[in-house]
Amino acid sequence: MRQEIINKMNTIFCEVFDDDSLKISDNMTSADIDEWDSLNHITLVVNIEKVFGLKLNLSEVGKLENIGEMIELIFKKINL
């Protein structure tokens, strides 16, 4: 199931940053993607909420260190 989430996340990243060749990995951060600024961050969060059908606590999202932790958070939310 974690892999499913990763795949979905990858699609979202490709869409939001308009780059079909983008491959996400656990230790990736906003520093690794040029276009990942505070504006695109919001777009990203809105997309994640829509695709996974959940509402995120934005304080929690702000504390995440990398994509891996983001995926972990989604994984936890889905399995509540």
Partner 1 sequence: MSKTKFIIFRDYFVNDKVQTISLKAIKEDIQNGHFSKAFKTLATLSEPEHDFTLQSRYVALFQSIPPEELELKGLRLAILATSTVDHFIDVLKFWLAKQGFRVEVFSSPFDTVHQTVLDSTNALYDFAPEFVWFFNNYRDVTFSVSFGANQNECDTAINDTVKKFTELWKIIQKNLPCHILQNNVDLPNFRVFGNLEGSVAWSQTNLLRKFNLCLASASRSGVTIFDMEYLSSLFGKNSWHDARYWHHSKHAFSLDACGLVSSQVGALIGAGKRGGKKCLVVDLDNTLWGGVVGDDGLNGIQLDNGAEGEVFLNFQKYLLALKERGILLSICSKNDEDTARDVFLTHPDMLIKLDDIAVFKANWNNKPDNIRDIAATLNIGLDSIVFIDDNPVERQLVKKLLPEVVVVDLPEDPTSFIKAIDREGFFESLAFSNEDSNRNLLYKQNIIRSKHQNQFDNIDEFLNSLEMESEVGPVSELYLPRFAQLINKSNQFHLTTTRYTETQIRSMINNNMTILRYFRLKDNFGDNGLISSLIIKRQAKILFIDTWVMSCRVLSRGMEEFICSEIISMAKCLKSTMVRGKYLPSKKNKLVSSLYERLGFKLIKKEPDGASYWELNMKEPLPKISHTIKRTKSKDLDLENWR
80 binds partner 1 (CB under 8 A): no
Contact 54, 78 (CB under 8 A): yes
Between the alpha carbon of residue 44 and those of residues 9, 15, 39, 60, 72, the distances in Å are 10, 9, 9, 15, 16
58 binds partner 1 (CB under 8 A): yes
User: CA–CA separation, 26 vs 66, rounded Å?
Assistant: 7
72 binds partner 1 (CB under 8 A): no
Residue 25 or 42: the one with the smaller Cβ distance to partner 1 is: 42
Q: First and final CA of the chain: distance in angstroms?
A: 14
Tell me which of 28, 29, 52, 68 binds partner 1, using CB under 8 A. 52
Residues that bind partner 1 (CB under 8 A): 1, 4, 8, 11, 15-16, 18, 38-39, 42-43, 46-47, 50-53, 55-59, 62, 78-79
